[in-house]
Structure 1
Amino acid sequence: MTRPARPTRADYVHWRTITTRWRDDDAYGHLNNATYYEYFDTAVNAYLFEATGTNVRLLDRIGVVAETSCRYFREIGFPEPVEAGLVVDKVGTSSVVYRIGLFQGPGEEAAAEGRFVHVYVDNTTDPDGTRARPVAPLPDAIRAAVTPLLRQPD
């Protein structure tokens, strides 16, 4: 099985700097695995708030995380900041697939890369207490915000 190449800064379209915190490191002195996922969530949702100019929690359809994963390449941690690169691999009828690269320091290769899938659901609660049914189409504000992040093939 051939693993995909380690991503570089050139693979991403939008950037955000995330400040690391003392509590982000685990007992071994590197970023806790769960914190990587917090950084992915922050990179995606902060971008959506800024790019749409609205509180995305109040849209009639909201994105819920249906899938997430992480490939780890090297350790990162407190106190240096992390740069998160963001790119969109796919914009579907009711979903968006993001990749987020985490970089720390001057190198060109990612320390980690996450995959993050938002599926858009109705922002009302069904009688059974769930909002789990995908609803198409994506909100116009979301589609307009994520389309510029689509990575065009070289």
Structure 2
Amino acid sequence: MSNARPAPEPRAAYAQFVSLGTRWMDNDIYGHLNNVVYYSLFDTAVNQYLIAQGALDIHGGEVIGLVVETHCNFFDSLAFPQQVEAGLRVAQRGRSSVRYEIGLFAPGQALCAARGHFVHVYVERESRRPVAALPDPYLKALEGLML
């Protein structure tokens, strides 16, 4: 385990970007996005990308992703009414799981305000058991997130 302090990353560290809006209710009493909102932005960015790529069908798809691990490091504040640019990449892909890494950027900023990851385990919607292999539409979508 490394003792190096986490540091913000540049935009070049990410393969794709998704633009997300913040909401009035996202700010906390201190005037910036509450920490739980960052996790919601991570989840929204990945799922928005997968839906746009035709991989994820949230209403009728046979395969869904369940989040089994999350992490976030904070470097700078974000606040409503900012747009947030979420950089995405795939760090690791297993038989039925994917580790997504996300950097959240304020518009025009070179370094991320926060970065983190979450792991999706892809399961059959009905049984909630891991899939034997990621379906082809997911594999194709994930190619766009590989550096």
TM over 0.5: yes
Q: Within 5 Å, which residues of 2 pair with 1:3-42?
A: 3-42=5-44
Q: Within 5 Å, which residues of 2 pair with 1:1-154?
A: 1-52=3-54, 55-125=57-127, 131=128, 133-151=129-147
Any stretches of 5+ residues in structure 2 without a counterpart? none
Larger-Rg structure: 1
Identity %: 48
Contact 2:91 2:99 in 1 (8 A): yes
Within 2, Cα distance between the matches of 1:56 and 1:45? 9
Within 1, Cα distance between the matches of 2:8 and 2:39? 19
**Superposed structure 1 runs of 4+ greater than 3 Å apart:** none
Contact 1:95 1:117 in 2 (8 A): yes
Within 1, Cα distance between the matches of 2:140 and 2:6? 29
Aligned length: 145
Deviations 1:106-137 (A, max 9, x none): 22110001201110112114xxxxx2x32220
What code does the residue aligned with 2:44 have?
A: T
1:128 maps to which residue? none
Any stretches of 5+ residues in structure 1 without a counterpart? 126-130
Instruction: Give me the CA root mean square deviation.
Output: 1.5
Q: TM-score, normalising length from structure 1?
A: 0.87
